[in-house]
Chains A and B, each alone.
Chain A
Amino acid sequence: MNVNARFLTNRIAQQCAYKRIVTFSTKPTEQSAAAAVPQQQQQQQHDAVAPPVRKPIVPAHYRFVYPEFLPDPKVEWRNSIREKLERLDMLNRRRQIELPEFYVGSILAVTSSDPHAAGKTSRFVGICIHRERCGLRARFILRNVIDHQGIEIVYELYDPTIQKVEVLRLEKRLDDSLFYLRDALPEFSTFDEHMEAETLEEGTPVPINELKVVLRPRPWLERWERQNLRGVANIDQYLKDKHRKSSEKVQKPWEKYDLMKQYRATIPEEEQKEIFAEVHTELHTLELQRKRNKRKRTFVKPKHLA
């Protein structure tokens, strides 16, 4: 068995040696090994039979789930070796701790070690209003209102002091960042600290919450009228003609035709494939493990209560 497996990996390496993009199907290791054994025997019997062609099967939604694996598109800051090392470090961290899929608008609970807190840990529940940066520096901002006081905490995703990240409600909002919650009425960013995690059925797309928040009157932190926000209900009520005029002036309707600008802001598809092919196997096995653990946990739960 062991010899067989080694032989198999060698063969796979040979098959993929001349291809830049290396992708494997990532079934659970035991199953794949079990499936591979008869195949192996077959191959030994018929040496001339060509090896089965493996298609790249990196899911298309990976770039939304793991955006921090894509490097900064700014050419001056690219460094392929650094990026690769960072990716390895990120995977190492992900092996230690479960970093679930979440988006701007999802409600998270982050438990992090805090030397000043009682019990040395603090748990903060809030809505993710922004995700930024890439690689090991990836971070997100959680916002909540506690005791009538808006609180925002910036967490680095790969920070070793983070002990647990739970997604309490997995959903998206209408906008890419929700900074306007700072100027909205407090009930729109108030979330219960003891909120229970809501489970989504497997395979369902991430729901988009079409909630429109109500802004409080000026003064605001930013000129929201200039940002074409979709998730704001009552912005018109605070606008005068001069605001409308000035916001019209700063609009850039031609930018959707500026192909090179978009190109310079994105990582091209071929490169994305290469990157995700590199980390896909690992990420997928981690996902599967997590699912298995979850099932176990849900099964165990009633025992605890009893």
Chain B
Amino acid sequence: MPRILLLSIKTIIGNLENLFAMVKGSPPALAMIMSDRNNPTTQTFSLKDVIGDGFLWAVPKHRRSVEKRLNRKFGFPEYVWKPLKEKRNLRSCLKCGHEHELGVLCSFCYDIVRKETHQMQEKIQESLGVAPIDQEVVVLYDGENDLSPEALKGSRVVEIQKPRPMWFTKNLLQKSTQQSADTKEVKPSDLG
């Protein structure tokens, strides 16, 4: 079957070649080839010679300008900008100095808080279990049992067996694990 097909294709090509040979006034594009064809000595005519190295394929008709080429390469800044863009919303954290985006928590500070929070949450969930929760939770670190019973009244105490971290203080004015300094406060009224 394939052999028959091949044969038939061959015959068709042969017919085509004969047709080309028959044409007298060949088109100008083919004039060169046809002049070659006129040579009676070359009997083996093939379509490959006609098509050559693809002289019929599409080619750019006009030169693309430099501006166009640059726009294609980099994009246009107001519409699409392909190269990397600088971030202008980065600030350094006032607390630790790491960079963070504006309006987003500082990753370094947040990491510390998150670890502590996870520890506390685990402890709290351990102590709560499945009983109905009807009291506020107070978390006490090591060596913080000196709170008055009135302050702890009506709340569930969860103890964590480690000292309270330096940065995590209940009283914002005073560090709980540090000794309070003996310096006197300077009142603005005393300055004048």
In the complex, are there CB atoms of A and B closer than 8 Å?
no
Tell me the A residues contacting B by CB distance below 8 Å: none
